[in-house]
Amino acid sequence: MRRFLIYPLILLLACDLGGVEIGETSSFIKFFDEGNGVAMEQASSGLILVGTITGDDNQTILTKVDNNGNIEWVERYDDFVGNAVKVIANDGGYIIVGDRINDTGGDPVTAMAIIKTNSSGQIASANTDSVSFNSQNFPNGPLPSQTDFHGISTTFDTDGNLLVLGTFEDDQDLDQIIITKIDITNLAQAPIWWQEYGENQRNSDASKSIHLNSSGNIVWSGSVFTVSEQTVETSLRSYVAVPDSEPTNVQTRGDDPNDLNYGAADIQPTQTGFGIIGTISGNDPALTVQPTSIVLVRIDENGTIINGSERTYEIVDNSVAVGNSLFATIDGGLILLGTRQTVTVGTDVLGNGENDFFLIKTDESGNIEWTQAIGGGGSEEGAVVRQAADGSYFIFGTSTSFGTSRMTLVKTTSLGEIN
């Protein structure tokens, strides 16, 4: 494992996030009225953004913007918490996957929820295009009637149907991963198939993306964790599976009790297979806050971890940084998005507020080319990073100041700068 200490390379952008105007520029910072930024995909002549408001009244906000961040339309969906969005290629509509909470007076039960919209974000049919899946949709599995389901991510298979990556709570009250194939033409029909992936006596969680490799097999990543009285032990997983079958390859980082904790946040295609970004942390019960670093692991097309590919990016010793998202860049490298906590080193303050968006540009092997921190006086949390055709970068996430959280979209130059 190669470890990078980033302190000498860091560039702080002391931006006043409230004072930047949108316009025809190569970079910008755009605030939206409210909500947490959770998902972003590139769409026709712009971006599609998913934000959420959670609490007593859950709501998902779908926003279409052009490449300069100007809003084209906004749609809101009540009683729904979106986690991912996908563009429907043949008609320009959208699929949103997430959760719907059913609270009938007892213990609230969460169902996996899917919304299908047209190219303007409108639901054509509430009966077939806005549905929820719970244990009744999976009658052949060992699932109790009060099982919680969560929709995390989605993609299309080779037939154009939906593959939905999620989790459910088994009869031991442990979270396990589930993948469901659903007919996109009528979401209300019973799933074509579903398959669960779990580990005995351990909780499983899925990262925010699911893909197909060149053979049509399903590729995703996640984390497995065990909670004891004093610690939480977490290990990273990558999975490759033939559709409707058990995994053909499961790779692990952090399963040894003496290892550090590994967690997976996102997986994306690269030139040599797939890259997984996550967080690596200590497990010292004597520490109130564990130091954490961003970690990158690369796997080949068949899901095997590439020897020597692991990279750890540590801001400074005993600092806190987490990996959020990654994307393959035009030049064959990678752009990594993390969230970095402000830290003081001697007389130097590394950061602009409580937390910053943190970009790391690497070559194809994960070696650092440059880093940038972007933040204001509040707290920023990264969700997704993408690269535009001109080499610039889009960051989507959340900015919180004075107790108010707002979806935030940032466009940087090809070097991660704000002009």
Length of the chain: 419
Residue 32 one-letter amino acid: F
Residue 320 lies in a domain: yes
Q: Where are the alpha helices (DSSP H) in 193-237?
A: none
Token pair recorded at residue 117: 């919209």
- The alpha carbon torsion through 154, 158, 160, 162 (nearest 10 deg) reads -30
pTM of the model: 0.91
Residue 358 lies in a domain: yes
From CA 180, how far away is CA 191, in angstroms rounded? 7
Task: Tell me the residue range of the domain where 14 lies.
Answer: 1-31+315-419
Residue 20 lies in a domain: yes
Residue 75 lies in a domain: no
Each residue's pLDDT, cut to its tens digit, for the chain (419 residues) gives 666 555 433 333 334 334 333 444 579 999 998 899 999 999 988 999 999 999 888 999 999 999 999 999 999 999 999 999 999 987 889 999 999 987 666 677 899 999 999 999 999 887 788 998 877 777 665 565 567 899 999 999 999 999 999 999 887 888 999 999 999 988 988 889 989 888 878 899 999 999 999 999 999 999 998 776 555 678 989 999 999 888 889 998 887 766 688 999 999 999 999 999 999 987 776 766 778 999 999 999 999 999 999 999 987 777 889 999 999 999 999 999 999 998 877 777 777 888 999 999 999 999 999 999 999 889 999 999 999 999 999 999 999 998 899 999 999 999 999 98
- Do 238 and 297 meet the contact criterion of CB atoms below 8 Å apart? yes
User: What total of structural domains would you count in the chain?
Assistant: 1
CB count, 10 Å around CB of 347?
A: 5
Residue 348 lies in a domain: yes
DSSP assignment string, 118-150: -TTS--S-TTTSEEEE-GGG-TTS---TT--EE
Residue 5 one-letter amino acid: L
- Do 33 and 406 meet the contact criterion of CB atoms below 8 Å apart? yes
Residue 156 lies in a domain: no
From CA 221, how far away is CA 277, in angstroms rounded? 10
- Do 5 and 314 meet the contact criterion of CB atoms below 8 Å apart? yes
From CA 315, how far away is CA 102, in angstroms rounded? 42
Residue 2 lies in a domain: yes
CA 379-384-385 angle, 5° bins: 105
Residue 44 lies in a domain: no
